Amino acid sequence: MLRRGGNKENIHQYAYGQAGISVHFAKNGTELLLGAPGVYNWKGSVVRLSGDTDLNVGGNQRRRRRRQADYYQALSVPRILNSLFTEELEENDYFGYSVSSGEFKDDGHTYYVAGAPRASHGYGKVYIFDFPPNDLTGMEVVLSRTGSQVGSYFGGVVLGLDVSGDGRPELLVGAPLHSQQPALDAAPTGLEEGRVCVYQNLGVGQLSEQPLVLTGDRVIRGRFGSAVASVGDLDMDGYNDIAVGAPYEENQRGAIYIYLGGATGLNPEYSQKLLASELSPALRGFGISISHGLDVDDNKYAGNDNPSSPDVAVGSYLSGEAVLLRAQPVLRFHAHLSPSTDKLQPTDKQFEVRACIKYFGRHLPDTIPATIQMKIESRHVICVFDVQGEQRDNFTYERQLSFEAYTCDDFTVLIKSESPDFTQPIQLSMSYDISSSEGAGAKADVSPSGCSPQSGRNVYLFRSVERAPAGQRYSQK
């Protein structure tokens, strides 16, 4: 304990360090980081422990080791970052409230990330840094980013993750208490909707100044961004995806959002939203914490870098439960319409169209049932389908599809207009869906003047849920 101001004020060094409020396995695989925001009168610090071998192994590998022999990894003596000598930090910054890591520069070196949600006079700040060579030197700050709103708790959550596939990690920062406001200099019009800022890695050790902002559904008091986690490659497109927690949506029941990565970064529109109320009426605070994607059932659903499916665990602390969301294979459709002719004469009264569809993906069944809808979209020329002698502008039918093999059907389109205007295309559409409540439709629009095959994409992320009630320990065999 230090004394300041003529022994009138005590400054706690490590007594209230709160080490472990955040935990992260470093990307280099040999280090464990612990956030300790209470060190030095809540300036905060980060504790680093090292091992001789890879600590960040997958679940299946870890279980195999345990079956073969008792496996324990000895860690080194903790190295505590001395924030007393770090000029950038002030008391009550809460540095270390969140921790992460990544190779943010093109030098192959792992750098560390820590959030200080009360730094910069309450705006919050995130530091990318390296440990100094000795304990009498402050941390080496590589990059930093500051929040845009006082009290938003910017830096309450941090994550270094490559979501664009270029090998460079982006910086994702949660600000769960951020309130919507029309402009930076305007008063907030919302209340704790929360947000996540995504800073693109530009290479050569630079991050974008203006972030991509994720906001979910902007639910008042939802606190979107309370948790941000990498959940692996859910849709099997070769890019990392993330989950974001909003534990206070729906009257504190909670929700999580799924965002998909891509060549240009994260898609700003979420692909899926899971509400606690849809999983169990008893869940509350669902989304306060989210694990990274890890296969716990060894179901062999392969990802790019992980030979198993990214199952995800979600904390639901207000009801004292944990929820396991199991991943299932991703199915993609490829469909196209082919007309019998690409030119129509004024005297033509009908033409034929062939509708073909197939599905593909990894670890899928040999056949699946599908519901297909055909529809006339044209407004310039009156047309109908001839469906077994009945004239209809749309109809739905069922088909059993085979894996990676087109299933095709032929239909007749009747031209009903007396004086059709063939300067405008006749537009048809084909919509398709899995014949179950889990399916999500996709649509391909084409015209008789010719079409290119278009692919729809259906993403089915989670198929089953398991809950670990309060007072019970969940174990996966």
Using 50, 70 and 90 to split pLDDT, how confident is the model at 185? confident
**The total number of structural domains that make up the chain:** 2
Q: Pick from 293, 312, 327: which residue ends a domain?
A: 327
Q: Tokens at residue 419, please?
A: 């004086």
Of the two residues 168 and 470, the one the predictor is more confident about is 168
Indicate whether 202 and 291 sit together in one domain. Answer: yes
CATH number for the domain that contains residue 303: 2.130.10.130
* Measured torsion, CA atoms of residues 185, 187, 190, 195, in degrees rounded to the nearest 10: 30
Q: Pick from 290, 306, 327: which residue ends a domain?
A: 327
Indicate whether 290 and 417 sit together in one domain. Answer: no
Indicate whether 358 and 305 sit together in one domain. Answer: no
Residue 85 lies in a domain: yes
Indicate whether 350 and 216 sit together in one domain. Answer: no
Indicate whether 348 and 428 sit together in one domain. Answer: yes
Residue 371 lies in a domain: yes
Indicate whether 129 and 214 sit together in one domain. Answer: yes
pLDDT value of residue 422: 65
For 304-333, the pLDDT digits (tens) are 444 445 789 999 999 999 999 987 777 788
Indicate whether 283 and 316 sit together in one domain. Answer: yes
Indicate whether 305 and 414 sit together in one domain. Answer: no
Contact 136, 85 (CB under 8 A): yes
Q: Pick from 294, 327, 360: which residue ends a domain?
A: 327
pLDDT value of residue 47: 94
Q: How far apart are CA 40 and CA 16, in angstroms?
A: 8
* Measured torsion, CA atoms of residues 217, 219, 221, 224, in degrees rounded to the nearest 10: -10
pLDDT value of residue 53: 55
Between 20-34, 121-135, 207-221, the lowest mean confidence (pLDDT) is in 20-34
Using 50, 70 and 90 to split pLDDT, how confident is the model at 227? very high
pLDDT value of residue 420: 66
Among 276, 279, 303, smallest CA distance to 292 is for: 303
Q: Tokens at residue 105, please?
A: 């520069």
Residue 460 lies in a domain: no
Using 50, 70 and 90 to split pLDDT, how confident is the model at 437? very low
Mean pLDDT of 239-255: 96
Between 80-94, 117-131, 183-197, the lowest mean confidence (pLDDT) is in 183-197
Q: Which uninterrupted H or E stretch holds 249?
A: helix 249-252
CB atoms inside a 10 Å sphere around CB 474: 14
Q: How far is CA 413 from CA 298, 336, 376, 395, in A?
A: 49, 16, 9, 12
Mean pLDDT of 395-400: 93
For 45-60, the pLDDT digits (tens) are 999 998 765 555 454 4
Among 175, 54, 37, 47, smallest CA distance to 112 is for: 47
pLDDT value of residue 156: 97
Q: How far apart are CA 104 and CA 205, in angstroms?
A: 6
Mean pLDDT of 209-214: 96
pLDDT at residue 107 greater than cutoff 70: yes
Phi, psi of 415 (to 5 degrees): -95, 115
pLDDT at residue 182 greater than cutoff 70: yes
Residue 395 lies in a domain: yes
Indicate whether 266 and 409 sit together in one domain. Answer: no
Q: How far apart are CA 65 and CA 221, in angstroms?
A: 44
pLDDT value of residue 419: 67
Indicate whether 267 and 357 sit together in one domain. Answer: no
Using 50, 70 and 90 to split pLDDT, how confident is the model at 168? very high
pLDDT value of residue 360: 86
pLDDT at residue 407 greater than cutoff 80: yes
CATH number for the domain that contains residue 346: 2.60.40.1460
Residue 356 lies in a domain: yes
Using 50, 70 and 90 to split pLDDT, how confident is the model at 84? confident
Of the two residues 412 and 71, the one the predictor is more confident about is 412
Coil, strand or helix: which one is 325?
strand
Residue 439 lies in a domain: yes
Residue 461 lies in a domain: no
Residue 17 lies in a domain: no
Indicate whether 441 and 309 sit together in one domain. Answer: no
Complete DSSP assignment for 37-60: TTHHHHTBEEEEEEBSS-S---HH
Percent of the chain with pLDDT over 90: 52
Indicate whether 322 and 442 sit together in one domain. Answer: no
Q: Which domain holds residue 393?
A: 332-454
Supply the pTM of this predicted model: 0.74
Q: How far is CA 16 from CA 43, 140, 283, 396, in A?
A: 11, 24, 32, 66
